[in-house]
Amino acid sequence: MRADELRLPVGDRRRLVFAANLEPCLMCLGAAMSAMVGTVLYALDSPSDGAVALAGGWDRRAGDFPAYRLPAIRGGILAEASRALFAEYVRRFPDRGGFTAWAATLAD
């Protein structure tokens, strides 16, 4: 997200789409909510730290922070292409320790 997009009126910001290779963690999802992004798209689930399931169970009271709401969230977007990117990373950088091992789990 660019700084000029954050200057958009709230109604216009709701048209913004945040797209990522991995399911957003709680902090990233919170940042999207704070920026009032309307839609979050992601390719692959992140079982270790993804926040979509947690956010789905959020019991938001309408009177609390009226503008602060969960964006529309959709996973599985370009999942195979994202897996291919992680596989390429593992192929190119096989000796990066734990990070390479973690990336390999996403490439499968």
* Residue pLDDT, tens place only, 62-108: 666 666 778 899 999 999 999 999 999 999 998 888 889 988 998 88
Per-residue pLDDT at 8: 57
Tokens read off for 30:
């919170």
Instruction: Determine the average pLDDT of the residues in 49-59.
Output: 79
Which residues are registered as beta bridge partners of 22?
44
pTM, rounded to two decimals? 0.79
Cα 85 to Cα 89, 95, 103, 106, distances in angstroms: 6, 17, 9, 9
3-class SS letters over 51-79: CHHHHHCCCCCCCCCCCCCCCEEECCCCH
